[in-house]
Amino acid sequence: MRNAGLGGWPARRAQMSPGRTAFVFADRRVTYAEAHERTTRLASRLREAGVRAGDRVAYLGPNHIAFAETMFATHVLGGIFVPLNFRLTAPEIAYMLADSGSSVLVYAPECAEVAHALPELPALRTIVALESPAPGERDFESWLAQGDSTPIDTPVALNDIALILYTSGTTGRPKGAMLSHANLVWNCFNIMIGVDVTSTEVTLISAPLFHVAALNQTLLPTFLKGGSSVIMPSWDVDLCYDLIEKHGVTWMFGVTAMFAAFSRSPRWAGADLASLRTLMSGGAAVPVALIRVYQERGLVFCQGYGLTETAPGATFLEAGESVRKAGSAGVPVFFANVRVVRPDLTLTAVGEPGEVLVQGPNVTPGYWRDPEATAAALIDGGWLHSGDIATVDEEGHLHIVDRVKDMFISGGENVYPAEVEAVLFEHPGVAEAAVVGVPDQKWGEVGRAFVVPREGAAVTPGDLRDFLGPRLAKYKIPVYFDLVEGLPRTGSGKIRKPDLRSRPLPPGATPPP
């Protein structure tokens, strides 16, 4: 087989384990043999639509088996897959389609309104709908079924680009991070070393697949090992409990908000979670108090750290260290190097905050058609600037402090919002919290906390201030507290802090005496 990339995986898996279940979605199961045949038929249709090596194929929609089929079919031809955030507006999606030059768009019915609002894009020649195609569009199932099942073997090298993943775009225009097939393969090696993924794995895909962690940290390693991926359309606490019990889920990934909501469910105390071997989180620092909630249930909760640009794993805390080093993001993954440095790029001392740099075969070759951004992110030796602040302890474990851009300076002192948020989370009446810096005439900047109270809890700003008083230095304690029903999030579940910073203070708001 000349395809050394992901496009060869369905054929290889079908040969090794044809009858094993590859995907579960609602009441539908797809074996590896079926996945191979469907991927091949779809690839033949994409080829008829003009897709060749290096061409881009985009997917817009919630989690679905068709996402994986479209991705693998694109890779069969040596094309580049472009997963899009289905929560974005038509102008945002149009920008990504135009920037990537995608020639094919596959979209789900939930995104029909956005798809039909797109302007005319010169490169976009074929539009495929999973359901109810509009005039001029293809129907996914019938189009695929009429494809040719004859095997396709296109030469693809490991260093060829496999994915363009657009960043969240919390500031300015999103950038398209390129990931090669080699980046994805090495990341799979790293996660399989850290988690001990097995061929009997039943993995719950509960985070959005357009997000690098759900795709590369769970679905791809599971497929590579021949396990089963149970795909949730979108995050739902009750459905998560149902699927764990029904399918005997062994492994799942989630962000902090997902695990917090799961543990707050009335079903938490009585649920049968015995099948779960590993819970894994990343994307942002996880409060230790939340990790302990899971560990007290006897569950293995592992935290990792990474970025879209590192495919994504950069560090990982293995199961054996998950209790003793709870709150740590672990040590560098097996096939990567990580440094924490000062602005002059010298190594920090133990416990000294600095920026995280990452180097290795999992690191992006750069940003799509953006040499300036690539040059700014990657320095000599292929080291990637992460923009994240961390400390390293005496055992070499990373502790993520915060994003460089989220830190603020109050009265000459650095304040890291993630530290304040973690302490707020320990309050029994707090479900979620986000802290940002806001201008202040006296101190330059002070903290403003947006707090989501737990259901039924009576929480006041005074209560929160009193709670933080003995736990944090005075300059770290927010001056303003906003009690809110929810927090704005990106499609990957991260809190949109620029949105919070831009919110005006309530009329008459003054600092407490």
Q: What are phi and psi of 382, to 5 degrees?
A: 75, 20
Distance between CA 77 and CA 82 in Å, rounded?
14
In the chain, the domains with their CATH numbers are 6-157 (3.40.50.12780), 184-403 (3.40.50.12780), 408-501 (3.30.300.30)
- Token reading at 93: 């999606």
| DSSP 8-state symbol, 219 | I
Distance between CA 366 and CA 358 in Å, rounded?
13
- Token reading at 419: 């530290």
Strand order in the sheet with 56-60: 138-139, 126-129, 104-107, 56-60, 80-84, 161-166, 176-180, 366-367
Task: Specify the pLDDT at position 513.
Answer: 58
Task: Specify the pLDDT at position 88.
Answer: 85
| pLDDT tens digits in sequence order for the chain, 513 residues long | 999 999 999 999 999 999 999 999 999 999 999 999 999 999 999 999 999 999 999 999 999 999 999 999 999 999 999 999 998 889 889 999 999 999 999 999 999 999 999 999 999 999 999 999 999 999 999 999 999 999 999 999 999 999 999 986 444 678 999 999 999 999 999 999 999 999 999 999 999 999 899 999 999 999 999 999 999 999 999 999 999 999 999 999 998 878 988 999 999 999 999 999 999 998 666 788 899 999 999 999 999 999 999 999 999 999 999 999 998 999 999 999 999 999 999 999 999 999 999 999 999 999 999 999 999 999 988 999 998 889 999 999 999 887 777 888 888 787 888 889 989 999 999 999 999 999 887 888 899 999 999 989 999 999 999 999 999 888 899 999 999 999 998 766 778 888 999 899 877 666 665
Task: Specify the pLDDT at position 308.
Answer: 92
Nearest to 283 by CA among 324, 351, 329, 325: 329
CB atoms within 10 A of CB 473: 9
Task: Specify the pLDDT at position 510.
Answer: 61
Task: Specify the pLDDT at position 169.
Answer: 47
Task: Specify the pLDDT at position 109.
Answer: 98
| DSSP 8-state symbol, 482 | E
Strand order in the sheet with 444-453: 430-440, 444-453, 480-483
421 Ramachandran zone, left/alpha/beta (phi>0; psi -120 to 50): alpha
| Angle between the N-to-C axes of helices 256-264 and 237-247, in degrees from 0 to 180, rounded to the nearest 10 | 80
Distance between CA 133 and CA 362 in Å, rounded?
38
Calculate the alpha carbon distances from 364 to 262, 368, 369, 386 in Å. Answer: 33, 10, 13, 12
Nearest to 154 by CA among 285, 11, 290, 345: 11
| Angle between the N-to-C axes of helices 417-425 and 461-468, in degrees from 0 to 180, rounded to the nearest 10 | 110
User: Are the C-beta atoms of 320 and 348 separated by less than 8 Å?
Assistant: no
| Angle between the N-to-C axes of helices 65-76 and 32-48, in degrees from 0 to 180, rounded to the nearest 10 | 60
